[in-house]
Amino acid sequence: MYSSVAHLARANPFNAPHLQLVHDGLAGPRGSPAGPPGPPRRSRSLAAAAAEEQYSCDYGSGRFFILCGLGGIISCGTTHTALVPLDLVKCRMQVDPQKYKGIFNGFSVTLKEDGVRGLAKGWAPTFIGYSMQGLCKFGFYEVFKVLYSNMLGEENAYLWRTSLYLAASASAEFFADIALAPMEAAKVRIQTQPGYANTLRDAAPKMYKEEGLKAFYKGVAPLWMRQIPYTMMKFACFERTVEALYKFVVPKPRSECSKPEQLVVTFVAGYIAGVFCAIVSHPADSVVSVLNKEKGSSASQVLQRLGFKGVWKGLFARIIMIGTLTALQWFIYDSVKVYFRLPRPPPPEMPESLKKKLGLTQ
């Protein structure tokens, strides 16, 4: 048991390439080959696909990116909308902790004041905003992953794959937050300012009349602060967790697993990634919630006023929400890929050319 835990710890997403080679038993202490190689394994690059499967398009094609974007719309739009009640309570706990003292108290107070229908406040901007964000997040992630892989080359893409995941996801989220910001601003106004507006149709014109376009984009910088670290963790942690699960936990290679079994691994890896995502992004999330409620405040002023303790209010609710959210998003996104028969590259393995350089193959 302890041996397995140690292996997983050494296989963390931030292992340096040389340390990863040592851990895999492919290099000695100074990078030299470590004795005779073990049984040969079929090598697959990041963009490789199982030869026995028939796909509807090529990996990295225009159709592939479009359908990945569609998968992002479905996975993000539906999951965020389904969790609107929990998100509403979490936002109210952040902006008014004296009134909403905990997750269960927050639900109780909201039901008493607004009724059951009140829990659905903000569903429209949530659905529209996070659908657009999902389109950019997942679609552009696949674009940037292919782009950066080609720039690095096959060997470096394998050695520096964690950095590749981090860079691709950060690049994608930069654009995704620009698409999300207007609807996120409207959603927070509807959810946290009683009497301001009950629908997007009422909130958007009112916001524009009061503050102009600035009302919709003043939260974009805090969104980058919240979402870019969140998305970097979401994608890099997920990719490396899937790799570790197939390597240390799943008793057979992925190629021998059925599609439902593969989707279970996807869900588990997504939930693990989601817990870390929630912790990393929560302070910035608190700032965004307060900033969109108040007029004339800056992110630095809100952060200073909340203090260290204040930015962690509502963390438990966010862990539940983001853990479930991330797991479902990856599950739905992977299911869309299965449905449309898109290439789903297996966990990466060392390229043959790198094995030859290390003296592992003849």
φ, ψ (nearest 5 deg) of residue 55 = -105, 155
**What is the chain's mean pLDDT, rounded?**
82
Q: Where do the structural domains in the chain lie, given as residue ranges?
A: 8-358
How many residues in the chain? 362
- The highest-confidence range among 91-95, 199-203, 339-343, by mean pLDDT, is 339-343
Position with higher pLDDT, 318 vs 234: 234
% of residues, the chain, pLDDT over 90: 43
Neighbours of 242 (CB within 10 A): 24
Contacts of 311 (CB under 8 A, 6+ apart): 282, 283, 286, 287, 303
Residue pair 307/290 in contact (Cβ under 8 Å)? The answer is no
Fold of 8-358: Mitochondrial carrier fold (1.50.40)
The answer to whether the CB of 127 falls within 8 A of the CB of 80 is yes
Per-residue confidence band for 10, with pLDDT thresholds at 50, 70 and 90? very low
DSSP per position, 65-132 = HHHHHHHHHHHHHHHHHHTHHHHHHHHHHHH-TTT--SHHHHHHHHHHHHHHHHTTTTHHHHHHHHHH
Place 28 in a pLDDT band, splitting at 50, 70 and 90: very low
- Pair of tokens at residue 71: 């998968």
CA angle 353, 33, 4 (to 5 degrees): 100
pLDDT at 295: 62
- Whether pTM > 0.85 for this model: the answer is no
Q: Which pLDDT score is estimated for 292?
A: 63
Model confidence over 130-139: pLDDT tens digits? Answer: 999 999 999 9
Q: How far is CA 187 from the centre of its chain?
A: 21
Q: What is the DSSP string of 270-325?
A: HHHHHHHHHHHHHHHHHHHHHHHHSSS--HHHHHHHHHHHHTTTTHHHHHHHHHHH
Q: What value, to the nearest 5°, has the Cα angle with vertex 147 and ends 358 and 132?
A: 135
Average pLDDT over every residue of 22-38: 46
